[in-house]
Structure formats: structure tokens, C-alpha cells
Amino acid sequence: MSDNQNIKSIIGSIFSSKGKLSKGFNAYTVEQVWRSTFGEVISRYTSGVRFSNGKLIVYITSSPLKQELSMTKEKVITKMNAQLKYHKVTELIIR
């Protein structure tokens, strides 16, 4: 194994563990994935994104958008999981 592969595996283990650094990085990553996956229009109505223990909590400021996302939860979860590397969304909560 080369030094490059060693460093890559060490960094990967840091961010895939349950440590404080990992949690902060994952929260940032999940929000970035949300915004890039669903685009500018939905991002404009998203006031916050939280991820913990498989639960993705999205704060939406538009009632019609909340309703639409609630009706398509399975599609949203599938799209997010396709983009996330380490942690997977098992539940979507729209607030």
C-alpha cells in the first residue's frame, strides 16, 4: 500500500466515524448535497438542513413546497442517498 492510499484511508475513517469532526463535516456535506441535488429554486425556500442518525430534517419556508416534498418523500430519499457517500438517509422530516 502506498503512502497516498494510507492517507486516503485514514482521512476516510476520520470522516466516516462517529466523532465530532465527522458530525460537523457530515452536517455540512448533507446540506451541500441537498442544495446541489435540488437546485436553486428549492434552496431559496430551504432555511435549514439537519442530519442525525439517518434522519434528514429539512426546514422549508413555502407551504406548497412542503406539501410537494411530503408527497414525494421516497424520491427525495433516493436522490439524496445516491449523492451521499458515507451516511444514508432512512427518514425525511419536512418542517
Task: Print the domain residue range for 59.
Answer: 3-94
Residue 16: per-residue pLDDT? 58
Q: Is the pLDDT of residue 84 over 80?
A: yes
Residue 23: per-residue pLDDT? 57
What CATH number is given to the structural domain containing 63? 3.30.300.20
> What pLDDT digit, counting tens, does each position of 10-69 carry?
666 655 555 554 555 566 688 889 999 999 999 999 999 998 888 999 999 999 999 999
The model's confidence at residue 9, banded by pLDDT at 50, 70 and 90, is confident
Question: Which 3-state string (H, E, C) describes the chain?
Answer: CCHHHHHHHHHHHHHHCCCHHHHHHHHHHHHHHHHHHHHHHHHHCEEEEEEECCEEEEEECCHHHHHHHHHCHHHHHHHHHHHCCCCCCCEEEEC
pTM of the full structure: 0.71
Q: How many domains does the chain have?
A: 1
Q: Which residues pair with 59 in a beta bridge?
A: 48
> Of 23 and 78, which is predicted with more confidence?
78
Residue 22: per-residue pLDDT? 54
Q: Which has the closest alpha carbon to 94: 37, 28, 64, 78? A: 64
